[in-house]
Structure 1
Amino acid sequence: MNTSELGEASSSQHPSIPPEAPSSGQGTPIVPETPRSVKTNAGESLQVHVRADVMKEMADEMHKCPLQNFLVDYAPFRPSQDSVDAAFQHYTNTGKLVKSNDHPDGVWADFLPPSKKRKKENENQVFARLQSIIDDLRQLECLEEGANKLRHPQFHYMTCPNNWMAGEIGGTNFRVDACITSNPGSKTVILADTAVVAEFKKSSENEGPHQNRQQLVSAANQIMNDDPRRTWIYGITIEDTMMSVWYFCRSHSVMSAAFDFTTDIKSFIRVFMSFLYATPEEIGYDPTIRRQLYNNMFHYIYELKTDEGPKYFRTIEPLFNSRVLCITGRKTRVWRAIEVRGPGDFAAKDGASEIALKDVWIEADAETEAENLDNSFTAIVHAFIALVLLYLIHWVHRDVSAGNIIIVKVGNMVQGKLSDLEYAKKFGTSSAGGDPKTGTPFFMPIEIHRSEQLYRRPVAQTVQPDYSCMDNPFSLVPDSQSPVTPSEPPPDAKKFTPQFRFQHDLESLWWIIIWILLHRTVSLNANKVTGNIFTSTYTPDRDRIDFFCTEDIFKSELHKAIPSGLTGSINNLNAIRVELYNSYTSTEMFHQADDPGVYIGIYMLMWWALGPVVRIARGLSKTCSLHGGSHTGINPKAG
């Protein structure tokens, strides 16, 4: 895994979901307003109560393939033919494998057609016989196909139909018939130790197979939700004598064609050798995330690769960890975490402070969050230029939103385009009664959102911007020159129904910048602040109004909500906010609102103040990755 950290926020990513076919569209919104398909959350429901829902949710991600394809493309590794033949001979020599006229190639002695007495045995008694057969495999030599290196068994087969499962998330109230585990001595089957789950049915008639598979898929789902180390997990189902092998991961799930495990002995050997002799990484454990006992509690140690070398973070508690009913998808987790001294020393590093660590699966060809942040601000600059061009021809857009700013790649270049001119109109052509609400509530100007103007006594700038640097504001303006210290707004004066003016487009762009800083970074308080000021209500929440109108609230809320590496942008964002606020409350601006010329100062100030904000964001993306993790693929063999 390839990961790194950003100020107060670190992230781990698993880019392993195969890319989808290219879209027919012309670009990608900088923040999608229509998110990915929403995954159903099980909440606190018991897993046995949501089994049918899990099966339904996962129906579209399930596939089937021939057994030999599964063994080549999905099994942890391929045991050599010599190892399989030697195991076959061992079973023959020990009498566990016998031959008869009906079974000239051999059949398990313990699974010969049963007598009347054995027909009465229950499911647990029948499949308990697998234990000694599979245990023998651990005593034999195993080589990998094409490799002359002896493997050692790292996992155990355990029959456990009466042992309850135990996990770290809610809802774990079920048992499985058997498992492949790293901890066979435990009376409780720990989800974190379970590498393969198995479910058996004595009969293949009626609802037996469906119930069997439902139980297996549900168990795999709970383990993948419970354990952040899992890249994939395996399963086994047996109905009567027919066995299938299963593979579950974040992009898709596969079930092998069934085979008769009582007579297809060599396939049986291949399956269980590949499980028992697999390495933890081959069987689905991410080597860069460790489960570690520290101060009598289990924590996860994340290894994040950075330009300065690997860093290690110990989780403290989950901030977000949903129990989704399907396995495919991003499976976002957010942890409260702290950097530790090293891979073997889990005490907090001197001077370390708590961070939010985000762990998420992304598409194989997806860009990192740092690249996304860089591209987003490139698009913001280009969108601002588009608004300037509209201003020069005296038009207002009236629906500037994240979904209408499109990122387009031309060769190695990224361009931002302002789209959707459905609501655009010539400035000054509104009716006397004002403009109706247009736009997305998240990014709608305060005046338009609340349907009344903010006409009040203006707040004076304590330091006027130096426009002499306008030739290149993106490199010449030091952050220390950010000029604003507004006072608290006076009580409301007479209100007027607003008409859409040029600064409203600029305010929408400002809200998008705030949204990106909160939405594209990971911070302990970002969700709380975002939830208070970005709502879909018909009128703006009081918190949103205060955030825009009051300097102390704006600065304090943003300062605690974004990573420390971005706090240098707050003064300039505040400069834009004050200029916009003053344009609404200025008596002079109010009486000259129909004159396009009076708005030029707002555009100049925003261009001047936007430069350092973009520079800070781009600087972060060049020095570290918000999300830089990578796997070579969910299934390197299958691609």
Structure 2
Amino acid sequence: MTVHKIDSGDTRITKLRDHIAEQMEGEFSIVSVEGFLSHYLPFEPTEDDVKNMENLLSKMEMSVLVEMDGDLRFHEFVVPPCNANGTETPSYKPLEDISCAIAYVPVEGRKRNELSFRVCPNTVIKSQIAGSDNKVDGCFTSEDPESKTLDTSRLACILEYKLNPLQEVENNKQALSASVQIMNDDVRRMFTYGITIIRDRVTLWYHSRSHSMISEPFSFVENPQLLIKVFMSFLFATEEELGYDPMVTRDAKGDYIYRIPSTEQGQQRDRFFLTTASIAEYRSNNITGRMARVWKVVEFHPSGAVVSPSGPSRVLKDVWLEDSAPTESQIQSQIFEDIKKFFRDKQDARYLAFERLRPSISDLERNDRYKKYFIQIMADYEGKRTKPRSPNSERKRRLFSTVEPLALPTTSNRGGSGTPRPTESKITFDEGPREFAPRKQYRVIFGEVCEAVGDLGSVGEVTDVLSQAIVALRLMYCAGWVHRDISSGNILAHRRSSSSPWQAKLSDLEYSRRFSLNSDRGVAGDPKTGTPYFMPHEILSSRYIVPRQPGAQKPKLVVDDLTNGRRPQPRGPPPVYNFQHDLESIWWIFVWTITCRVSHDPSVAFGRKIFQNLMDPPLARLNFLEDPISEEFMGCLSSPLQQLASPLEVLRCFIYDAYLYHQTANDLADLTSYIDAHQGFATFFEGVKLSQEHWGDTVLLTCHRPVASTTMGRRPCSRR
């Protein structure tokens, strides 16, 4: 079975419900019941099918429907359930009988699936991810009805219900937490469903990688036809309609088989890849987003045999990209084309300058040797798209902080607020426009199984790989591209055997762009990207580095200053990501390596002040680049690494002065103005390697690479 390696450790997911709710608060929209049924249900049964179902349910010997004053009602729900009826489980147990009755009636043109309704308030949902301890009140599951267990891979829709209206927020959080667990754990899941009930008020939930949607509530007591339609949709839908990806199957051991369509010599054929280990996988608290998974795989024949038993393993990356975004393969191809164009102009100032470095530009050009600094892409595939957000929906707030009114809407407009607040909300909202752009599946097969630089076992190995990574960045610079997401996780290292040297490989080109100061294209108008640990100073702080005031003068204030003083100046545009920013991230990775990754408590304590998953940088982080490195830094380092403090200070000063020079010269758009930055970093690594024999063997903790600020926690570190 594939072992899952999850960045948020084994923190119990039920302990993270408040964090999940906070991060998901802005992802929801609301639509009318009719809009939800037509746009989001697995399929919408026809009115004739629903009428036929009602008639047959009414005629059953143990009918679940009765007629009262000319209206249909469920036999066991003539009036809304309430606290006086007892506890929740027996109050809603008749839903199981209703589902069984609906499942018994055939639907024209539809095949009955394996789902059944199950009441299961005391059963923990099984998961391959440590810390998953959710329970749900009920569910539609493909588990054997006699089974005593629940597996996330078999849960198509979860149900949570409460009799007490003041528990609506709690009910919402429980339902959301279970859906997050399903979407994290089940690789096959493209989207998932939920149902919450407060007394008789039913809300339908839909979650995908682009957005989450809920329906306006409806009463299943007053309108049983709607609940019948919903149950019909779940019981007679196909697996794909329920959100299961037909391109991925799960074997009996829990491993996954990905089907990747490909074209060879003009012939279309499918290739199959079996997962053998998880390289990187994230337990996110937010369903919306990329949800990147990286697997070690072997090519697999549909008959069950490995295509090449003695052949090397490959890497499969599975991610949800914005629908309009170019793929990694497309970006890499564009970069390679631009590198080739650069090679043709041998009088370019960059070509002449870098010809003196090692490896020289001509060496990199020869036999396409430059390609070895980038990960090899063997095959890729763009898969399913998420549903577009319903055009008739609107943003929904306070699902997890304020109880909504119990009165059902009598028109298409929703009721007002004026409701009790069981807990004070500490959630802040961004009321700005949100596009909720559709996303697409993207699967890419890489030719080499690599180690992330954040997982290498010694300082010397990290130094060797980082010194090669700047060669890859130099090539991107020559091509006119910035990477924009340099981190300890996407600088990779590959070697043929344990005795071979490491070869750096630059990966994760998703955020790479051609450099431009024009806000209409390139990187000028893009938001912050990257891992906060290693994000460039100017990008993280959203301001350019400027010279500090040389000296303070004695202050003086007169009345005229108040009446004729300067108006507050509007904040300028955020800094444009440039080529030096990519290099600066290398510096942060080096500092993080010799502080946070060593088994030396003073170093780790010092590093924790600087490296935090915050999009607003802590003061210690700001000062570490703008101020001279302190004696405290040298003192915190382990003995062999202390001799690195001085070279790091020289490089810090070089980085800082280069930023100031760019501001003074106003030459950010001049491509040749970044030559010195690249030469400076090459000189730094050339210099520190002279003493590497004294500190290179320092052992590092194999901490997993830092995660983005939208995920929680990290797995424990271990000695290499």
Q: Give the shorter-chain TM-score range.
A: 0.5 to 0.7
Q: Structure 2 vs 1, CA of residues 141 and 378 (structure 1 numbering), >3 Å: closer, same or farther? A: same
Q: Structure 2 vs 1, CA of residues 328 and 150 (structure 1 numbering), >3 Å: closer, same or farther? A: closer
Q: Structure 2 vs 1, CA of residues 262 and 525 (structure 1 numbering), >3 Å: closer, same or farther? A: same
State the Cα deviation string for residues 586-608 of structure 1 (Å, max 9, x = none): xxxxxxxxxx9xx9xxxxxxxxx
Structure 2 residue aligned with 1:15? none
Structure 1 residue aligned with 2:66? 98
Does residue 1:526 correspond to 2:460, yes or no? no
Does residue 1:124 correspond to 2:83, yes or no? no
C-alpha distance in 1 between matches for 2:350 and 2:136: 67
1:290 equivalent among 249, 258, 276? 249
Offset, 1:541: 3.6
Q: Structure 2 vs 1, CA of residues 331 and 227 (structure 1 numbering), >3 Å: closer, same or farther? A: same
Q: Which moved more, 1:47-56 or 1:306-315?
A: 306-315
C-alpha distance in 2 between matches for 1:446 and 1:290: 52
Amino acid at match of 1:84: V
State the Cα deviation string for residues 499-523 of structure 1 (Å, max 9, x = none): xxxxxxxxxxx7xx77644899846
C-alpha distance in 2 between matches for 1:91 and 1:373: 59
Amino acid at match of 2:129: I
Counterpart secondary structure, 2:287: coil
After superposition, where does 1:349-360 map in structure 2 within 5 Å? Answer: 349-360=308-319
Structure 2 residue aligned with 1:312? 272
Counterpart secondary structure, 2:221: coil
Offset, 1:252: 0.4
1:181 equivalent among 134, 141, 158? 141
Counterpart secondary structure, 1:151: coil
Offset, 1:100: 2.6
1:339 equivalent among 280, 283, 299? 299
State the Cα deviation string for residues 404-423 of structure 1 (Å, max 9, x = none): xxxxxxxxxxxxxxxxxxxx
Q: Structure 2 vs 1, CA of residues 528 and 132 (structure 1 numbering), >3 Å: closer, same or farther? A: same
Structure 1 residue aligned with 2:406? none
Amino acid at match of 1:216: A
Counterpart secondary structure, 2:226: helix
Offset, 1:381: 4.0
Structure 1 residue aligned with 2:333? 374
Structure 2 residue aligned with 1:163? 123
Amino acid at match of 2:312: S
C-alpha distance in 1 between matches for 2:362 and 2:18: 63
Offset, 1:82: 1.9
Structure 1 residue aligned with 2:114? 154
Q: Which moved more, 1:41-50 or 1:121-130?
A: 41-50
Q: Structure 2 vs 1, CA of residues 173 and 92 (structure 1 numbering), >3 Å: closer, same or farther? A: same
State the Cα deviation string for residues 428-447 of structure 1 (Å, max 9, x = none): xxxxxxxxxxxxxxxxx999
2:289 equivalent among 329, 332, 340? 329
Does residue 1:211 correspond to 2:211, yes or no? no
TM-score (norm 2): 0.50
For the 8 Å contact 1:220–1:233, the answer to whether it is kept is yes
Structure 1 residue aligned with 2:431? none
Offset, 1:93: 2.4
CA-atom RMSD in angstroms: 4.1
Offset, 1:525: 4.5
Q: Structure 2 vs 1, CA of residues 378 and 86 (structure 1 numbering), >3 Å: closer, same or farther? A: same
TM-score (norm 1): 0.57
Offset, 1:382: 4.7
Amino acid at match of 2:146: G
Offset, 1:265: 1.5
Q: Which has the higher contact order (CA 8 A, sep 6+)?
A: 1
C-alpha distance in 2 between matches for 1:326 and 1:387: 49
Counterpart secondary structure, 2:294: strand
C-alpha distance in 2 between matches for 1:61 and 1:105: 38
Q: Which moved more, 1:118-127 or 1:70-79?
A: 118-127
Structure 2 residue aligned with 1:76? 42
Amino acid at match of 2:329: A
For the 8 Å contact 2:64–2:101, the answer to whether it is kept is no
Structure 2 residue aligned with 1:299? 255
State the Cα deviation string for residues 241-268 of structure 1 (Å, max 9, x = none): 0001111000001001110011211111
Structure 1 residue runs of 5 or longer lacking an equivalent are 1-39, 144-148, 401-444, 448-453, 467-472, 483-509, 564-595, 600-639
Q: Which moved more, 1:374-383 or 1:314-323?
A: 374-383
Structure 2 residue aligned with 1:244? 203
Q: Structure 2 vs 1, CA of residues 300 and 263 (structure 1 numbering), >3 Å: closer, same or farther? A: same
Structure 2 residue runs of 5 or longer lacking an equivalent are 1-5, 378-443, 472-493, 508-671, 676-720
Q: Structure 2 vs 1, CA of residues 336 and 279 (structure 1 numbering), >3 Å: closer, same or farther? A: same
C-alpha distance in 2 between matches for 1:228 and 1:271: 25
Q: Structure 2 vs 1, CA of residues 176 and 52 (structure 1 numbering), >3 Å: closer, same or farther? A: same
Counterpart secondary structure, 1:367: coil
Amino acid at match of 1:321: E
C-alpha distance in 1 between matches for 2:468 and 2:115: 59
Amino acid at match of 2:296: R
Query: % of aligned pairs identical?
Result: 27
Amino acid at match of 2:324: D
State the Cα deviation string for residues 356-393 of structure 1 (Å, max 9, x = none): 1111111223323221111112233455678944469x
Structure 1 residue aligned with 2:55? 89
C-alpha distance in 2 between matches for 1:547 and 1:77: 50
Counterpart secondary structure, 1:110: coil
State the Cα deviation string for residues 343-366 of structure 1 (Å, max 9, x = none): x42556444432211111112233
For the 8 Å contact 2:207–2:213, the answer to whether it is kept is yes
Offset, 1:545: 4.8
Q: Structure 2 vs 1, CA of residues 310 and 562 (structure 1 numbering), >3 Å: closer, same or farther? A: farther
Counterpart secondary structure, 1:212: helix
Offset, 1:136: 0.5
State the Cα deviation string for residues 574-625 of structure 1 (Å, max 9, x = none): xxxxxxxxxxxxxxxxxxxxxx9xx9xxxxxxxxxxxxxxxxxxxxxxxxxx
Structure 1 residue aligned with 2:156? 195
C-alpha distance in 2 between matches for 1:446 and 1:112: 86
1:134 equivalent among 84, 90, 99? 99
Q: Structure 2 vs 1, CA of residues 75 and 382 (structure 1 numbering), >3 Å: closer, same or farther? A: same
After superposition, where does 1:209-608 map in structure 2 within 5 Å? Answer: 209-293=168-252, 297-308=253-264, 309-342=269-302, 344-345=303-304, 347=306, 349-382=308-341, 388-390=347-349, 516-517=374-375, 522=446, 525-529=449-453, 541=463, 544-545=466-467, 556-557=500-501
2:76 equivalent among 97, 110, 116? 110
Amino acid at match of 1:141: P
Amino acid at match of 1:355: R
Structure 2 residue aligned with 1:617? none
Counterpart secondary structure, 1:106: strand
Offset, 1:111: 1.4
